[in-house]
C-alpha cells in the first residue's frame, strides 16, 4: 500500500506546479528545483499543444496563446497519461469546461475540434477496409458504408477557412458541413457538404440500407417530395463519395442489420 504521506506530497507538488499562485509549494523542496519543474512541465504542455493546434495558436496570437494554455494547465484535470491523447483533453476543456473570457474568439472550441479531427486522421493507422469488389458495386442498389478514416462534421463557424486573414466574430448564416477523410499516408483532405450530402452520410452511418433507400429517406427528412431531379442529385452525391474513396459498397445479402 502506498504511503499516505507520500501521496499527499505528490498531490501538493502537482497542485503547486499547475497553479503556483493558489497552492504553496511543499516544504523541504529547494525553490530553485521547483522553478525548474514549473518551467519544464508548463513548457512541455505549451509546445505539445502548439504543434497539435497550429491554426488555433496563430489566430489566438502570440500574446494570448500562452495564457490560454496556462488556463488549461491550471483548470483542467487531465486523466490520460498518454501525450498523443492530450489534444482531446484540450478540446474537452474548451468545449465543456472553459468559462469564456472577454478576449476569447467565439470559434476557438470549434476550431480546436476541427484541428484535432484532422490530426487524429493524419496519425491513424492504415485502414484494414479494402475497397476490392465492394468499391465497384453500384452505390444505389448496394449498401454503402463510411470508411473508418472519414468523419462527417457540422460547425456553426466555417472552421476550414479560419486563419490569419479570416477570424469571424459571428457564426455563418448557415451551418458548415464538412467531410474530412484520410486520402493516403500522411494526407488528409476535406470536402464541403451541402445539407443533403451531410444528411446522406449521417444516415449511412446510422442505419445500413441501399443507397436508393438512403436518398429517399434523406429527402423525406427535409420534407421534400420525391422529385426525380432531387433523387438524381442524391445519386450523384453517392457516386461522388464513392469516387473519393469514403464509401465502400456491400451487396445487400452480406449486410446484417442490428436490432
Residues 176, 88, single domain; the answer is no
pLDDT digits (tens, 9 = 90+) for 5-43: 656 666 666 665 666 676 666 677 777 777 777 777 888
CB atoms within 10 A of CB 244: 15
Is residue 69 a contact partner of residue 46, using CB atoms and an 8 Å limit? yes
Residues 79, 143, single domain; the answer is no
Residue 76 placed within a domain: yes
| Cα–Cα dist 177/158, whole Å | 9
Residue 247 placed within a domain: yes
Residues 67, 145, single domain; the answer is no
Residue ending a domain, among 52, 87, 104, is 104
Residues 154, 92, single domain; the answer is no
Residue 191 placed within a domain: yes
**Quick check: 44 pLDDT over 60?**
yes
Residue 126 placed within a domain: no
Residue 128 placed within a domain: no
pLDDT digits (tens, 9 = 90+) for 140-155: 999 999 999 999 999 9
| Cα–Cα dist 139/123, whole Å | 29
**Quick check: 135 pLDDT over 60?**
no
pLDDT at site 14: 65
Residue with cell 458504408: 145
**Quick check: 45 pLDDT over 80?**
yes
Residues 173, 71, single domain; the answer is no
Residues 168, 75, single domain; the answer is no
**Quick check: 180 pLDDT over 60?**
yes
**Quick check: 171 pLDDT over 80?**
yes
Residues 43, 148, single domain; the answer is no
CB atoms within 10 A of CB 94: 23
Is residue 67 a contact partner of residue 98, using CB atoms and an 8 Å limit? no
Residue ending a domain, among 104, 125, 147, is 104
Residue 103 DSSP one-character state? T
**Quick check: 228 pLDDT over 80?**
yes
pLDDT at site 132: 37
Which CATH number does the domain housing residue 203 bear? Answer: 3.90.930.50
pLDDT digits (tens, 9 = 90+) for 61-115: 999 999 999 999 888 887 776 667 889 999 999 999 999 999 999 999 999 999 9
Residue 259 placed within a domain: no
Q: Enter the pTM of the model.
A: 0.85
How far is C-alpha 213 from the chain's CA centre?
Answer: 29
β-sheet bridge partners, residue 147: none
Residue 121 placed within a domain: no
Structural domain total, the chain: 2
pLDDT at site 43: 87
Give the structural domain span for 227.
134-254
Look at residue 104 and give its three-state secondary structure: coil
Residues 93, 188, single domain; the answer is no
Query: Using 50, 70 and 90 to split pLDDT, how confident is the model at 1?
Result: very low
Strands 247-250 and 150-155: unpaired
| Cα–Cα dist 151/258, whole Å | 22
Residues 82, 193, single domain; the answer is no
Residue 77 placed within a domain: yes
pLDDT digits (tens, 9 = 90+) for 185-213: 889 999 999 999 999 999 999 999 999 99
Amino acid at each position: 500500500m502506498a504511503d499516505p504521506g507520500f501521496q499527499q506530497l505528490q498531490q501538493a507538488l502537482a497542485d503547486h506546479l499547475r497553479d503556483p499562485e493558489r497552492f504553496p509549494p511543499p516544504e523541504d523542496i529547494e525553490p530553485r528545483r521547483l522553478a525548474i519543474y514549473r518551467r519544464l512541465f508548463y513548457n512541455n504542455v505549451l509546445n505539445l499543444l502548439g504543434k497539435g493546434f497550429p491554426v488555433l495558436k496563430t489566430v489566438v496570437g502570440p500574446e494570448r496563446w500562452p495564457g490560454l494554455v496556462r488556463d488549461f494547465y491550471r483548470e483542467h484535470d487531465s486523466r490520460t497519461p498518454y501525450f498523443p491523447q492530450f489534444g482531446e483533453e484540450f478540446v474537452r476543456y474548451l468545449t465543456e469546461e472553459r468559462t469564456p473570457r472577454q478576449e476569447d474568439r467565439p470559434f476557438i472550441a470549434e476550431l480546436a475540434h476541427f484541428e484535432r479531427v484532422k490530426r487524429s486522421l493524419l496519425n491513424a493507422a492504415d485502414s484494414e477496409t479494402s475497397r476490392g469488389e465492394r468499391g465497384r458495386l453500384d452505390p444505389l442498389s448496394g449498401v454503402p458504408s463510411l470508411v473508418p478514416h472519414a468523419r462527417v462534421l457540422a460547425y456553426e463557424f466555417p472552421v476550414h477557412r479560419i486563419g490569419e486573414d479570416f477570424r469571424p466574430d459571428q457564426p455563418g448564416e448557415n451551418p458548415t458541413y464538412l467531410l474530412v477523410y484520410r486520402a493516403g499516408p500522411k494526407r488528409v483532405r476535406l470536402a464541403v457538404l451541402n445539407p443533403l450530402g451531410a444528411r446522406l452520410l449521417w444516415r449511412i452511418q446510422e442505419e445500413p440500407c441501399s443507397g436508393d433507400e438512403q436518398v429517399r429517406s434523406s429527402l423525406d427528412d427535409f420534407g421534400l417530395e420525391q422529385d426525380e431531379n432531387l433523387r438524381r442529385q442524391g445519386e450523384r452525391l453517392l457516386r461522388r463519395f464513392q469516387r473519393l474513396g469514403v464509401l465502400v459498397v456491400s451487396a445487400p445479402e452480406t449486410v446484417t442489420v442490428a436490432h
